[in-house]
Structure 1
Amino acid sequence: MKRNILLICDFDNTLYDWVSYFVSSFYKMVDEAVLILECDREYLLDDLRKIHRRYSDSEHPFALLETEAVKARFPGLSRQQQAAALDRAFHAFNKTRKETLTLYPGVADTLACFQRSGVRIVGHTEAKYLAVTDRLRRLDLNQYFERIYCRERSTSSHPAQGAAADLTSGNEVVELAHHQSKPSAEVLLEICEREGHSPENAVYVGDSLIKDILMANRAGVRSVWAKYGLKAPAGAYDQLVRVSHWRDEDIEREQAIREGAGAIAPDVTLEHGFSELKQILLI
């Protein structure tokens, strides 16, 4: 049984189905907001995409409150009053999130098994601070991670002052600057150095070939592709792109990275689920 291993885990679409959860929850909120605001649905989606692009974040907290549609419908109201007027829309998001945000089968048991076996586990994600710490708390994942590396938090505040409390439950969270992004090998090497492990004794598991696997390969870290994380309901990805912060130049840059990298081959592929990782680490 291997012990002196650093397991670095991506979160979204590796430990849980982020695309399905976020798209379904977001569009439930939008449909309810359209009724409250009495506005065109496509207009509101365009409005939200502008906010997401402004902050380079498709999960910008309470983006709905910064749209022109809300300002036009509720002129003169404070941010907190606007939030109260849109309570049904935010409730729709929260209700759907409770129904759809769940761990992939075997994730909790596998992480617990690694922990008992002496494998050190840290998380690395390009989600921002509040989004990732909230999900870890909801999914009861904090207990498995010694440290979490994520993007720096948004400057936007919760509409109710003091409501956005620290959600890390004791985990140390390292917020990475915007330029410290995947697939930079440097950021992964920095994580290994901080954790006191050589790249050769580290394993990175993630769902994205172009971001996770390419980064791990470049850093000399063993790469594990969570291929099962690519599955999503029909149409969900198109709905995500419709409101995403991705700009044309972002897509072009990613395409250039892909073309420059050539064939991206993981060291190991997890076809069906996260628990397959046991066969790799616990031998």
Structure 2
Amino acid sequence: MKSRKLVDTLIIDLDNTIFDWFAVWYSSFKPIYDEIIAVSGKPLDEVNASIRAVHQARRTSEYTFLLEEVEFLESIRQAEDIRSKFRGAIEASQRGRDQNLKLYPSVFRSLWDIKNSGTKIVAYTESMSFYSGYRLKRFGLDGVIDVLFSPEDHDMPAGISLSVRPKRS
């Protein structure tokens, strides 16, 4: 009888393998995109070109700070807080993301079973680590995935910080 070969490492792709990356991206991008079109009054080709330029500069189409960098929104940013102006679209974007951010059926149980068998799990993604780390935590896989390979994160836009300020009493 032939002995079974021990598998000590499993390498998986994250996007569109364990969850529907496109559904998450589309449902979070579309409300912002539609509102940029509505608010700006710019022709579609100009909107698309400006958004594409930001995505190319930041090396990702998953860019949280798109509103802060789309060139023709500068006059709005000068007049008022851009996030307040787009609050409804941002909230719709977050709802869409959260509604679609779910693992395919049986992925969670399968990965836990694989992990519990002693196999190391390595994940690969083309999404930047900021976004991928968030998703792994939301999926409950941050203790299951041993190693995450992802591109380097983009820089933060000028004047934006992710650090949390302590509340004053």
Q: After superposition, give the CA deviation of every residue in 1:99-134 in whole Å (9 maximum; x if it has no partner).
A: 112111110010011011111111111211111111
Shift of 1:85: 2.4
Q: After superposition, give the CA deviation of every residue in 1:115-169 in whole Å (9 maximum; x if it has no partner).
A: 11111111111211111111112222212111211111110259763358xxxxx
Pick closer, same or farther for the CA change 1:139–1:157 going to 2, 3 Å: farther
Q: After superposition, give the CA deviation of every residue in 1:196-217 in whole Å (9 maximum; x if it has no partner).
A: xxxxxxxxxxxxxxxxxxxxxx
**1:45 and 2:54 matched:** no
Structure 1 gap ranges (5+): 165-283
Determine helix, strand or coil for the equivalent of 1:40: coil
Pick closer, same or farther for the CA change 1:38–1:63 going to 2, 3 Å: closer
* Partner residue in 2 for 1:270: none
Determine helix, strand or coil for the equivalent of 2:54: helix
Aligned residues: 160
* Partner residue in 1 for 2:74: 71
- Equivalent residues in 2 for 1:131-210 (5 A)? 131-157=131-157, 161-163=161-163
**1:87 and 2:87 matched:** yes
Rounded to whole Å, the distance in 1 between the matches of 2:101 and 2:159 is 23
Q: Which has the higher strand share?
A: 1
* Partner residue in 2 for 1:30: 33
Shift of 1:5: 1.8
Q: After superposition, give the CA deviation of every residue in 1:224-252 in whole Å (9 maximum; x if it has no partner).
A: xxxxxxxxxxxxxxxxxxxxxxxxxxxxx
Task: Tell whether the 8 Å contact from 2:112 to 2:144 is kept in structure 1 after alignment.
Answer: yes
Rounded to whole Å, the distance in 2 between the matches of 1:65 and 1:2 is 53
Pick closer, same or farther for the CA change 1:22–1:33 going to 2, 3 Å: same
Task: Tell whether the 8 Å contact from 2:40 to 2:73 is kept in structure 1 after alignment.
Answer: no
Rounded to whole Å, the distance in 1 between the matches of 2:24 and 2:162 is 26
Shift of 1:87: 1.9
Q: TM-score, normalised by structure 1?
A: 0.51
Identity over aligned residues, as a percent? 26
Q: TM-score, normalised by structure 2?
A: 0.82
Shift of 1:84: 2.6
Task: Tell whether the 8 Å contact from 1:25 to 1:96 is kept in structure 2 after alignment.
Answer: yes
Rounded to whole Å, the distance in 1 between the matches of 2:94 and 2:58 is 22
Q: After superposition, give the CA deviation of every residue in 1:89-108 in whole Å (9 maximum; x if it has no partner).
A: 21111010111121111100
Q: What RMSD in Å do the two structures reach over aligned CA positions? A: 2.3
- Name the amino acid aligned to 2:42: D
Determine helix, strand or coil for the equivalent of 2:150: strand
Match of 2:60 among 54, 57, 60: 57
Task: Tell whether the 8 Å contact from 1:126 to 1:151 is kept in structure 2 after alignment.
Answer: yes
Q: After superposition, give the CA deviation of every residue in 1:49-103 in whole Å (9 maximum; x if it has no partner).
A: 11011122111231222002321333255xxx32232222211110101111211
Rounded to whole Å, the distance in 1 between the matches of 2:157 and 2:69 is 11
* Partner residue in 2 for 1:117: 117
Pick closer, same or farther for the CA change 1:26–1:155 going to 2, 3 Å: same
Shift of 1:4: 4.2
Shift of 1:30: 1.4
